Structure 1
Amino acid sequence: MPAIAAKTNATRPRRTADRDPVSDVRLITRELAEVAEYIAHVKREIGELRANELYRERIPTAHDELGSVVNATASATHAIMAAAEEILCSQEDTFETYKEQVESRVLAIFEACSFQDITGQRISRVVEALGQLEKRLSRFASAVNARDSEKGPVDPEDALRQARKEILLLNGPQDEDEAIAQDDIDALFG
């Protein structure tokens, strides 16, 4: 029992008459110095994020690269479809002229397929930019011991988008390990 009483007495604040003003000032000064050091540490870590570079350079570049991928893919798809349609709708009189047309359209298809090399390079740049962002945010979160709150602020636009996605089942393309097998789909309709 004396150990508990000693512990209780040690944790109780001293009466005002028993307090030493000099030690109180030292304690407050030490605590303020710790707070100041923590604030300086957080400021250094924020500086290491190089948020302005991310905001001004990396994210806009990634956005532009993805826009270019979309445009290149659409253009290539259009060229391939047009060439295939020309082959299917061909009304050449002789085999030789038909063969020439098919060869020329197949070459156009091959040329259009070269988009994948350039889009691969562009997507690699986007992946690199996202990797940098992830690395910096991870370092910052570790440095300041950041924890996710259970319920963060709700963005109304995100909430609407999520509700629409759930209603319309707009989940987009699935990863191979998450996708339903084509045989299962065929069995469903067969």
Structure 2
Amino acid sequence: MGFQIKTGENGFEDASGRVIRELVEIADYISHMRTEIAALRANEITRDRIPMAHEELGSVLAATAGATNTIMASAEAMLALPDDASYRENVEGKIYEIFEACAFQDITGQRIGKVVEALRHLELRLARFAAAVKARDEAGYDPAEAERKARAERLLLNGPQIAGPETSQNDIDALFA
């Protein structure tokens, strides 16, 4: 903005000069915040990236369910095959169906990669904004956050592990024996 603050005869600024200086600092801070908020590109995130992530994850779920159904149906069909001269040929046909169904992993991996990239992009923008505004987490107990963490722990106990200690299949079998 470039305001000049004049000092009095004794070299010190008067009260109005201090007020003007503080107002200039506030205006500069507001201008900086507007720039940082614009850099978030929140409209792009809500219009493009988040809906794309939802769509990709929905496709992953559909592909996974479809592949699982195909694999299960093929395996069940193999169990029901008659033990005749064409048995081997029929089993091989069902095995090829299972192999084809397992190809979903490549497509789902690509889709999940897109979601991860969108989340990384969002994380970087939010981190930049948080650093610009010198944001700090509010201290104290947050009941909503505590419930979210407790729910995440409950789900983790009943869901797949994320790169952690795994229970071997033999241990699981022994548990049910």
TM over 0.5: yes
Report the 3-state secondary structure (helix = DSSP H, G, I; strand = E; otherwise coil) of the residue aligned with 1:86. helix
- Pairs within 5 Å for 1:1-190: 23-92=14-83, 94-95=84-85, 97-151=86-140, 154-155=143-144, 159=147, 169-171=154-156, 172-180=159-167
Q: How has the CA–CA distance of structure 1 residues 48 and 152 changed in structure 2, closer, same or farther, with 3 Å as cutoff?
A: farther
**Cα distance per residue 1:44-82 (max 9 Å; x no partner):** 100000011001110110011011001100100100010
Question: In structure 2, how many angstroms separate the alpha carbons of the residues matched to 1:165 and 1:127?
Answer: 19
Please, which runs of 5 or more residues in structure 1 have no aligned partner?
A: 1-21
Post-superposition offset of 1:189: 6.4
The CA deviation at 1:91 is 1.8
Change (3 A) 1:178 1:62: same
Which letter maps to 1:177?
A: G
Map Cα deviations across residues 103-144 of structure 1 (whole Å, 9 max, x no partner): 111111111111111111101100110110011011111111
Q: How many residues align?
A: 163
Q: Residue in 2 aligned with 1:4?
A: none
Distance 2:165 2:139 in 1: 27
- What's the TM-score once normalised by structure 2's chain length? 0.81
- Unaligned 5+ segments in structure 2 are 1-12
User: What is the distance in 1 between the residues matched to 2:47 and 2:30?
Assistant: 26
In 2: Cα distance, 1:70 partner to 1:41 partner = 42
Q: Percent identity?
A: 53
| Bigger radius of gyration among the two | 1
2:60 counterpart SS class = helix
Assess, with a 3 A threshold, how the Cα gap between structure 1 residues 128 and 33 changes in structure 2: closer, same or farther.
Answer: same
Shift of 1:175: 2.4
